[in-house]
Amino acid sequence: MVSKINDVRQQMQQLYQSFERGENFDSLPDDLTDLKLSVKYATRRTKVVPRTEGTIENLQAVLKKITTEIINGDDDAEISNEDLFLLLKNSGSLSEALRDRGIFFTVSSLMNRGVLHEEQIWPALQYLSQDEVLFDHILEPENDAIFGRSMAVLLCSVFLVADQVYGGVLSQDEYWHVIEQISLYIILEQDARGFVPDHGWAHAFTHVGNVLSEATESRLSRAQKLFFLTSVMIAYQQAGQSFSFGEDQRIANSTLALADKEQFYAKYLVRIFKIWPLRTPTDPQTSGADFWVKWYNRTHYFLNLMVVPDLPQILIDFIKKLPEY
């Protein structure tokens, strides 16, 4: 599995290097689609051991202590490196209460209150974006590791917001490392579930949309932003599951955030759109469910764009020309 992931990583790095030089500007959407479709997944899953550390009692005590300080508006509130990483290292918990309503909301509150230290941002992102966390069981059939993978992406978005709030703590190379890893992640991810009974939110595509929105405001180069945008859109186009928990809206809004920046980005988004009907099933009679899943995902995405006020005219013109099927 590690060698397969590294092979895809190397191909994506080569595609980006060519894109940065302007050699595959027109073909990148097709190139990434070919790469996405070439990924070989395992036919059987292996046992998932949730990513946790320490005891639940200790974790709950840390969450309670931090939450109390935040609620009380304690001016001296802070979080030690040890406590912060205890939260991060338990973000793969299968407990919705601990993962979604505990760890995520606590880390978000720390960021919103300005309690995080600047020197904690990059180490946190290094941990969350490492292969062992981000690609855990990713090449296997639908499995419980999705909750840890997806939560890592969501927490990355929080720390990227913190970077902006704190005035640009990350270097461009550090920022790009995170985005490059998440670009690879979304090309590999095949679990598009939303809310899962008993375990809470998977929501991988929504969380990647959060990162894309944040990257729009970053110091990344045009080539880096467009490469990430293309990776996200190709993954969305090729998703094999119906989006029914707001993923289409999140992805539409995040791609539009970049397209609104300048006409150059809007034109490239249209370039990505143009391959959509060419690289997805075209006949409902022969493709069956796969056709309808991809058709409705595409339709809902464009419907979410069309309700946005002041949508760039180039996008309106393209969407109006789309065939019914």
pLDDT in tens, 208-217: 999 999 999 9
Start-to-end Cα distance in the chain: 37
C-beta atoms surrounding 271 within 10 Å = 16
pTM summary value: 0.96
Q: Is the pLDDT of residue 325 over 60?
A: no
Q: What would you report as the CA-atom Rg of the chain, rounded to the nearest whole angstrom?
A: 20
Average pLDDT for residues 23-51, to the nearest whole number? Answer: 96
C-alpha to C-alpha distance for 53 and 58, rounded to whole angstroms: 10
Q: Are residues 181 and 129 in contact, defined by beta-carbon separation less than 8 angstroms?
A: yes
Residue with tokens 């110091």: 219
Average pLDDT for residues 280-304, to the nearest whole number? Answer: 93
Q: Tell me what pLDDT residue 286 has.
A: 87
C-alpha to C-alpha distance for 323 and 321, rounded to whole angstroms: 6
The tokens describing 76, both together, are 């001296």
Q: Tell me what pLDDT residue 74 has.
A: 66
Instruction: Please provide the average confidence, as pLDDT, over all residues in the chain.
Output: 94
Q: Are residues 249 and 297 in contact, defined by beta-carbon separation less than 8 angstroms?
A: no
- Segments in the chain forming alpha helices (H): 2-20, 28-38, 56-71, 81-89, 96-98, 105-112, 118-128, 131-134, 146-165, 172-188, 204-216, 222-238, 247-259, 263-274, 284-287, 289-306, 313-320
| pLDDT band for position 228 (cuts 50, 70, 90) | very high
C-alpha to C-alpha distance for 115 and 9, rounded to whole angstroms: 35
Q: Is the pLDDT of residue 70 over 80?
A: no
Q: Tell me what pLDDT residue 234 has.
A: 98
Tens digits of residue pLDDT in 230-260: 999 999 999 999 999 999 999 999 999 999 9
